[in-house]
Amino acid sequence: MKKVIMIKYGEIYLKGNNRSFFESMLLKNIKYALFGLKADAKRVRTRYFVENYDEDMEDEIVERLQKVFGIHSFSKAVEIDTTRDNIVDFCSAIRLQNCTFKVETNRADKTFELSSMQTNCLIGEVILNNNPTVKVDVHNPDITIFIDIRENKKTYIFYQNIMGAGGMPVGSSADGLVLLSGGIDSPVACHQIAKRGMHLTGLHFASYPYTSEQAKEKVVKLAQIIKPYTHMKKLFVVSFTEIQENIHKYCKDEYMITLMRRFMMRIAERLANHVGAKAIVTGENLGQVASQTVESITSSNSVLEVMPVFRPLIAMDKEEIVSIAKKIGTFETSILPYEDCCTVFLPKYPLIKPNLKKVLEEESKLDVERLIENALNKIEEIKI
Ligand code: ATP
Ligand code: MG
């Protein structure tokens, strides 16, 4: 008998011929999550097992597995060699008191001598005989004892399913470049898009000396907090000061944010091409602020050639975003009061519905190409 953690995947089941690609990616990610811990991970057909770990590390392993996208659920289980006697022996030692229970058998090994139903009945009897204060309740039991009889002649017995993060394994989709600010939204956007398998690289715009070193450190910290989800290895920091100063000097005040967003997108697209990312990701949310109206989004999208922009939060309420931020542990850091480049030079009345023709007119007062080149020449790369 040995203690293991048995892991089940979710949507990967729906994959056809390419399922093994996703299965291998998930194993790789489980091993990545367990990095530095003494524990082995392996796949046996559609199940994954973490084994050979110290018992006092179990909570840490559970916590880490809950951040691995692609995992539907997992259970702390015991593994025994599949024989009728072994299953009965193990279940004879189960002690329950004053509760209702049921037994739920999954017989993947069709050569096992009893059907699932027969196993349920047999083990139900065994438990009733050894525990005089319990009753069977097949509809709404206090405890369910799961018996999973696998094809590899091993049986796994457990009573609890811990829900995983769902989604698809990170790395199974193309890479993305995320515009990461120090706010509440963009780290949540990272989490949401990584859930669909996208591995992320970060891009942050700073405006030294208007924004501080601490403001940047805050973004680095956020990137580190979400790393178990996103696998982000690099955060690029671009100085936005010259661009903002030029807009401030040459363009009408109310165009500040609109023009800034167009610069952000252009720089993001170029950097994305450079690092091999195939999409840009932002934490924009429809109608949240002036720069996030349909007209503003049209204005910033229109600078892009072909690259798609994913905005996973577009239709979410702030309350939903905040609740995810709390769950993934970014909220407390996000609300630290450091200024963002978007708050520097903030006009009193930003354009809510910019007219693209007029935006282009304003923008024509700037040497766009030179400003972008200058910004990209001074790019800083931070290892996360
Ligand atoms: P957040 O909470 O993510 O900061 P926000 O509600 O403050 O978002 P905006 O400031 O309009 O909204 O920014 C919208 C999106 O633009 C952000 O979610 C982020 O993806 C990107 N963004 C804003 N500021 C920066 C920045 N300084 N560096 C990188 N990306 C940024
Ligand atoms: Mg912001």
The domains of the chain, with CATH numbers, are 2-163 (3.30.2130.30), 175-383 (3.40.50.620)
Measured CA to CA in angstroms, residue 108 lies from 12, 63, 82, 312 at distances of 18, 28, 12, 38
Q: How far is 61 from 71, CA to CA, in rounded Å?
A: 14
Q: Which ligand is nearest to the CA of 284?
A: 1
CA-nearest residue for atom 14, ligand 1, is 284
- Give the 3-state secondary structure of residue 3: strand
Rg of the Cα atoms in the chain: 27
Token pair in block for residue 325 = 């931020």
What's the CA-to-centroid distance between 291 and ligand 2, angstroms?
A: 11
Tokens representing 10?
């979710």
Nearest atom, ligand 1, residue 283 CA: 18
Whether 268 lines ligand 1, by a CB cut-off of 6 Å, is no
CA-proximal residue: ligand 1, atom 11 (nearest): 291
How far, in Å, CA of 43 to CA of 49, rounded? Answer: 6
- Verify whether ligand 1 is closer than 6 Å to residue 340 (CB atom): yes
Distance 215 CA to ligand 1 centre (A): 13
Most ligand 1 atoms within 8 A of CB, residue of 179, 191, 330 to mutate: 179
Helix axes 356-363, 294-301, angle to 10 degrees: 50
Q: Contact at 8 Å (CB) between 59 and 50?
A: no
- Quick one: how far is CA 121 from the chain centroid? 41
Q: Is 341 in the pocket of ligand 1 (CB under 6 A)?
A: yes
DSSP three-state, residue 342: coil
Of 54, 51, 53, whose CA–CA distance to 41 is shortest? Answer: 51
What is the reported pTM?
Answer: 0.93
Peptide bond before residue 209 is cis, with ω within 30 degrees of 0: yes
Compute the distance between CA of residue 27 and CA of residue 31 in angstroms, rounded to an integer: 6
Q: For each of the chain's 384 residues, which pLDDT tens digit applies?
A: 899 999 999 999 999 999 999 999 999 999 999 999 999 999 999 999 999 999 999 999 999 999 999 999 999 999 999 999 999 999 999 999 999 999 999 999 999 999 999 999 999 999 999 999 999 999 999 999 999 999 999 999 999 999 999 999 999 999 999 999 999 999 999 999 999 999 999 999 999 998 999 999 999 999 999 999 999 999 999 999 999 999 999 999 999 999 999 999 999 999 999 999 999 999 999 987 777 889 999 999 999 989 999 999 999 999 999 999 999 999 999 999 887 777 778 888 888 899 999 999 999 999 999 999 999 999 999 999
Question: How far apart are alpha carbons 195 and 228 in whole angstroms?
Answer: 11
Q: Cβ(205)–Cβ(282) under 8 Å? A: no
Question: Does the C-beta of 186 come closer than 6 Å to ligand 1?
Answer: yes
Cβ–ligand 1 distance for 191 under 6 Å, the answer: no
Q: Is the CB of 46 under 6 A from ligand 1?
A: no
